[in-house]
Amino acid sequence: MQKLGLIQTLSQKLSPQQIQFIKLLQIPTAELDTRIEEELEINPALEEGPEEPEVENTDELDFEESLDNSNEMELEDYLSDDYTGYKMQGDGSSPDEDDKVIPIASDRTLNDSLKDQMGFLKLDDRQRKIGQQLIGSIESDGYIRREMDAIINDLAFSQNIETNLDELEEILEKIQDFDPPGIAARDLRECLLIQLKRKEDNNNHTELAIRILEDCYEDFTKKHYDKILKKLNIDEEDLKDAINIITKLNPKPGSSSEGAVRTQYLMPDFLLTNNNGKLELTLNSRNAPELRISRSYADMLDAYDKSKKKDQKLKQTVTFVKQKLDSAKWFIDAIKQRQYTLLNTMQAIINFQYDFFLSGDESKLKPMILKDIAGMIKMDISTVSRVANSKSVQTEFGIFPLKYFFSEGISTDTGEDVSSREVKQTLKDLIDKEEKSKPLSDDKLEKLLKAKGYNIARRTVAKYREQLNIPVARLRKEL
């Protein structure tokens, strides 16, 4: 038998204004301009420029007259007039005008370059289609990782071309002669060999480098140099010269020719200056845009309130105006709240890491977590996280992402806590100074760190080493 019951629950939901603030808070400065431009385009009640002082409305009668005559005007025409000329070059739009597409400069891709080079080969229609299938299988770094049998099946199903491994590899060899050298290789070994065999200065050391990759590749990757010396019956000096040639080759030939890649510049959100020992924090000017409410829209709404005639069409018109005004106010408030939160959070980080910002010495960094800053500014940890994850500060010592200043603590022999960043720097210094022919293992590094007073486990040493992108001792070995 079914029963009806009443359950009372209490839940918290974010308002549209809160959601808008959160989205604005987490975007970096470089994207803020774009976001503001988008809002200006969709909301004619929002304008750029400083706030205008309140003035007495001398055109109130004109507004009332235009509103009173609104019965003669369709709502669609009214809305169209609001947008006419907004952010446009001309005075208005004409129904006869065609939509014009703004030309965008496009870069040539690696795929385009390879197809152009294939055009110089004397290939028949069948071979050209096979070549296009191979070029289409090349990934962004320049490798073909798809199995040859799978490409044969692709040609059969998509192009209705029956081929075999010999024919496929024959055309693949032609593509591997294209620029950049090493393109269309199926693995790193083949990529390096292609580059070596295309070298113009093909001397004894280049020939030795080819022999190393062909006959001792596994020993080379594991840096078992003693085995290579015995297998090839060569001396250590020749091996060193050959390895020097190999290490100068390009392991990712596709990335250097990728046309779509663009240089990205880091734009700091905060500027920190040291004025005779006093740290002064300012926001990047792009974080503080000047926005205001459109005076004409505000006056229009005010005139309606004082108007005597209020029919249905006029109410619809004013509802639209009021929505745009409210949206503009919310957006301006969200921008201001963003500025306040950014400055408040960054000032707390400066206060916590004051010694570091004065000197730039990494050893002065204190252990600091999100909870520490959240407690100082009396905000939620998620708010601090949104600020820290996408913002950066420009100091006299360079530009630092805010995440740089957050780190866990490691205890020392004296009972004090030091930043894990300090431990990482000490670890890096030890590895930089090690004897490269006998690199230090993680166990030895652990003992050396403990000798310096850091209570750290071997697995933590391995974790920090990996975070620093430093390979294991065996792979750091040099002749």
Going by C-alpha positions, the residue among 268, 286, 221 that lies closest to residue 402 is: 268
Q: Quick check: 309 pLDDT over 50?
A: yes
Q: For 310-317, what is the mean pLDDT?
A: 72
Q: Which CATH class is domain 409-476?
A: mainly alpha
Q: What is the pLDDT of residues 440-455, one digit of tens each?
A: 888 889 888 888 888 8
**3-state secondary structure at position 360:** coil
**3-state secondary structure at position 427:** helix
The residue among 337 and 296 whose pLDDT is bigger is 337
Q: Give pLDDT, residue 463.
A: 87
The residue among 348 and 389 whose pLDDT is bigger is 348
Q: For 300-322, what is the mean pLDDT?
A: 72
pTM check: above 0.85: no
DSSP category for residue 49: S
The answer to whether the CB of 280 falls within 8 A of the CB of 273 is yes
Q: For 183-202, what is the mean pLDDT?
A: 89
The answer to whether the CB of 395 falls within 8 A of the CB of 359 is no
Going by C-alpha positions, the residue among 269, 290, 289, 292 that lies closest to residue 281 is: 269
Q: Give pLDDT, residue 314.
A: 72
Range from 10-14, 59-63, 236-240, 254-258 carrying the lowest mean pLDDT = 59-63
Range from 58-62, 351-355, 360-364, 386-390 carrying the lowest mean pLDDT = 58-62
Q: Give pLDDT, residue 189.
A: 93
At 315, the pLDDT band (50, 70, 90 cuts) reads: confident
Q: Provide the angle, in degrees to the nearest 10, between the axes of the packed helices 381-390 and 16-26.
A: 40
Average of per-residue pLDDT values in the chain: 79
Going by C-alpha positions, the residue among 106, 469, 109, 147 that lies closest to residue 255 is: 109
Domain ranges across the chain = 17-78+292-323, 187-252, 270-289+333-405, 409-476
CA 239 – CA 208 distance, rounded (Å): 8
Q: Quick check: 273 pLDDT over 80?
A: yes
DSSP string, 95-150: TTPPP-PPP---PPPHHHHHHHHHTTS---HHHHHHHHHHHHT--TTSB--S-HHH
Burial environment of residue 29 by CB neighbours within 10 A (0 to 12, 13 to 18, 19 or more): buried
At 83, the pLDDT band (50, 70, 90 cuts) reads: very low
C-alpha pair distances (Å), 167 with each of 130, 134, 154, 174, 443: 9, 12, 15, 11, 53
Q: Give pLDDT, residue 263.
A: 46
The residue among 304 and 215 whose pLDDT is bigger is 215
Going by C-alpha positions, the residue among 160, 363, 358, 172 that lies closest to residue 272 is: 358
Q: What is the pLDDT of residues 93-149, one digit of tens each?
A: 444 444 444 444 445 688 889 999 998 888 899 999 999 999 999 998 899 999 999
Q: Which residues are bridge partners to 272 per DSSP?
A: 281
